[in-house]
Structure 1
Amino acid sequence: MNHLYAIAVGSNRPHGRHGRPPGVVAAAIAELDAKFGLFDASPIMLNRATGGAGRDFANAVTLVESDLEPPQMLAVLQAIERQFGRRSGRRWGARVLDLDIAAWSGGRFASRRLTIPHARLAGRAFVLVPLTAVAPGWRLVGPLSARHLAARLAHRRPCR
Structure 2
Amino acid sequence: MSGATQLYAIAIGSNRPHGRHGRPPQVVEAAIAELDRLFDLFDAAPIVLNPAHGGAGRDFANSVALIESELKPPEMLKELKALERAFGRRRGRRWGSRVLDLDIIAWTGGRWRERGLTVPHKAAIERGFVINPLATIAPGLLLNGNLTAFHFAHRLARRRPRS
Q: Which TM-score band applies after superposition, normalised by the shorter structure?
A: over 0.9
> Which residue of the other structure, out of 65, 80, 89, is the alignment partner of 2:92?
89
The Cα offsets for residues 117-143 of structure 1, whole Å up to 9 and x where unpaired, read as 111111011100000111011110111
TM-score calculated relative to the size of structure 1? 0.97
Identity within the alignment, %: 66
User: Residue 11 of structure 1 aligns with which residue?
Assistant: 14
Q: Which amino acid aligns with 1:152?
A: R
Gaps of 5+ in 1: none
Distance in 2 (alpha carbons) for counterparts of 1:126 and 1:108? 22
Distance in 2 (alpha carbons) for counterparts of 1:36 and 1:102? 16
Distance in 2 (alpha carbons) for counterparts of 1:157 and 1:89? 31
> Which residue of the other structure, out of 105, 109, 114, is the alignment partner of 2:112?
109
User: Residue 159 of structure 2 aligns with which residue?
Assistant: 156
The Cα offsets for residues 14-67 of structure 1, whole Å up to 9 and x where unpaired, read as 000011000000000000000002110000011111111111100000010001
Q: Which amino acid aligns with 1:83?
A: A
SS of the equivalent of 2:21 reads: coil
User: Residue 70 of structure 1 aligns with which residue?
Assistant: 73
User: Residue 58 of structure 2 aligns with which residue?
Assistant: 55
User: Residue 126 of structure 1 aligns with which residue?
Assistant: 129
Distance in 1 (alpha carbons) for counterparts of 2:86 and 2:14? 14
SS of the equivalent of 1:93 reads: coil
Distance in 1 (alpha carbons) for counterparts of 2:36 and 2:142? 24
Q: How many residues align?
A: 159
User: Residue 147 of structure 1 aligns with which residue?
Assistant: 150
Name whichever of 80-89 and 129-138 sits farther off: 129-138
Distance in 2 (alpha carbons) for counterparts of 1:118 and 1:37? 21
SS of the equivalent of 2:81 reads: helix
SS of the equivalent of 2:105 reads: strand
Does residue 5 of structure 2 align to residue 2 of structure 1? Answer: yes
SS of the equivalent of 1:68 reads: coil
